[in-house]
């Protein structure tokens, strides 16, 4: 089975949902029965059992908190 987790902060932030998704993905992929891919705005981390796809983000104009992001529409896939 192929499994994909997508969250803008994956491999960018080490908090909450990002940590949980990365941990679950690592455990599932390390078991060797499934192909797991994470999609996020961070960078590749060596030694991970899952694949990672980097999707750049850009800040939306007019965001009062400075925390609103969107995908730039381009991505790069890296197999670990």
Q: Where are the domains of the chain?
A: 2-78
| Average pLDDT along the chain | 84
Does domain 2-78 fall under CATH 3.40.50.2000? My reply is yes
- φ and ψ of 36, to 5 deg: -115, 135
* pTM listed for this prediction: 0.72
Lowest model confidence (mean pLDDT) among 1-10, 37-46, 68-77: 68-77
Give all strands (DSSP E) within the chain, no chain letters: 2-6, 35-40, 51-54, 57-59, 69-71, 76-78
């Amino acid at each position: 089975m192929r499994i994909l987790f997508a969250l803008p902060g994956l491999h960018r932030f080490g908090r909450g949902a990002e940590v949980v998704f990365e941990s679950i993905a690592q455990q599932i992929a390390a078991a060797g029965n499934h192909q797991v891919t994470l999609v996020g705005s961070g960078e590749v981390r060596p030694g991970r059992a899952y694949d990672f796809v980097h999707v750049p983000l850009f800040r939306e104009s007019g965001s009062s908190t400075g925390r609103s992001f969107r995908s730039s529409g381009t991505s790069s896939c890296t197999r670990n």
